[in-house]
Structure 1
């Protein structure tokens, strides 16, 4: 049973390493172009926090070697990505905003979790459970964050659909009204025939 868990863990680590190295193509493009272009820093900043917290979890848990190693690698990769993002930011404001975001999320948030779980929770099993719950919640938020981009698109889709429906209704009613006006006009403009029998 232990060997099966270890093998599954190694397979999970391989997949995780592939996830952590997947942005390399993007960052080659950034370095080659000398600009971050339209890319956003937040996925890399939050992935760094995620990797740091899972690293902390793996180091805290007695049998968390596989979790610690892969997330240690991930943390190093994400630090490189964030630094490259700051260096190649489009402008000074983006550079400052990215540095502040990284400081607030990666340093402050991780620091708060580390201090609270280390000094406020003395029981190891409870500490491991709390860190694990925080990591799971962050995973859900991190991997669900692309939905934030679809919400405005979804709202735009709904509003666009409503506009098309209103336009179609208006066009149908406008054409019916013009047909009625045409019928009334054709009857009103019919030639007046006077009879000679008066």
Structure 2
């Protein structure tokens, strides 16, 4: 329970950053919505168990409160598109699906081991979904080559939590608790490996004084806004700015004592590729 509590608290720096920046940036609500749904199911499962249910009830009650707080912060600062998708997800899973599960298991199954087994299997399936939910974050890390959206502390706590709950499930012979945590351990290790791979891949910025024609890579400050814009437009963003500069060049051979002018066309191409803004200047 202590380790599970640490898992629930691990995303707190992320949501504090959202509060400070007043923006959800590129963060997604899917892992927290699914985690809340899983906590609600496990809370119901612990209520049905006649033995060894108090540990499950205690930690998942805390989990429901913490995940709800995270989602409230997310909804406050989310964009309109993220807000609508998150509300739809919450209504679909945490209201409709949970209501159907509680209703059917309470009235369509007999009290006792059979009801516990049905709810246990449902909890096992959605526990797997909780562990699989960060796959979207892992995809974002690979796409942007940035680990800002996948804190190492959360991945580490998830791995430790999976190990502890696996052995706890074995000790009390509750395989609905033990089995999903095998997959949780695998996903946790995969996230930590991904973090190690991409943690040092910083975006590079080339100096402005380099020879012409060589690409200049500039860091994108608001990555979330760029990704959101790409989703709205449906294509990658390309902007071509053309300027003409006419420097004054002194010339004794100019007509009428005037000055000879040389036209220099400067073309700057800004391409937004995989979360990085590439600026390619050329002079001609």
> Which range, TM-score by smaller chain?
0.5 to 0.7
Name the Cα RMSD after superposition.
1.9
Q: How much does 1:139 deviate?
A: 1.2
In the other structure, the counterpart of 2:8 is 20
Is 1:29 aligned to residue 14 of structure 2? no
Determine helix, strand or coil for the equivalent of 1:25.
helix
TM-score by length of 1: 0.66
Q: How much does 1:151 deviate?
A: 6.9
In the other structure, the counterpart of 1:45 is 33
Is 1:134 aligned to residue 122 of structure 2? yes
Output the CA distance in 2 between the equivalents of 1:48 and 1:150.
Answer: 20
The structure whose residues are more often strand, as a share, is 2
Structure showing greater radius of gyration is 1
Measured against aligned partners, the alpha-carbon deviations of 1:15-66 in whole angstroms (never above 9, x if no partner) come to: 1111111111111011111111100010000000000000111111112011
- Relative to structure 1, the CA distance from residue 67 to residue 104 in structure 2 (aligned partners, 3 Å threshold; closer, same or farther) is same
Structure 2 unpaired stretches of 5+: 143-284
Residues 30 and 133 in structure 2, CA contact (< 8 A), matched pair in contact too: no
Tell me the number of residue pairs that the alignment of Structure 1 and Structure 2 aligns: 141
Output the CA distance in 2 between the equivalents of 1:46 and 1:16.
Answer: 16
Q: How much does 1:106 deviate?
A: 1.1
Output the CA distance in 1 between the equivalents of 2:80 and 2:30.
Answer: 17
- Relative to structure 1, the CA distance from residue 70 to residue 149 in structure 2 (aligned partners, 3 Å threshold; closer, same or farther) is closer
- Relative to structure 1, the CA distance from residue 24 to residue 141 in structure 2 (aligned partners, 3 Å threshold; closer, same or farther) is same
2:108 to 113, 117, 120: 120
Residues 105 and 119 in structure 2, CA contact (< 8 A), matched pair in contact too: yes
Q: How much does 1:108 deviate?
A: 1.1
More contact order relative to length (CA 8 Å, sep ≥ 6): 1
Output the CA distance in 2 between the equivalents of 1:150 and 1:32.
Answer: 24
In the other structure, the counterpart of 2:59 is 70
- Relative to structure 1, the CA distance from residue 14 to residue 40 in structure 2 (aligned partners, 3 Å threshold; closer, same or farther) is same
Determine helix, strand or coil for the equivalent of 2:17.
helix
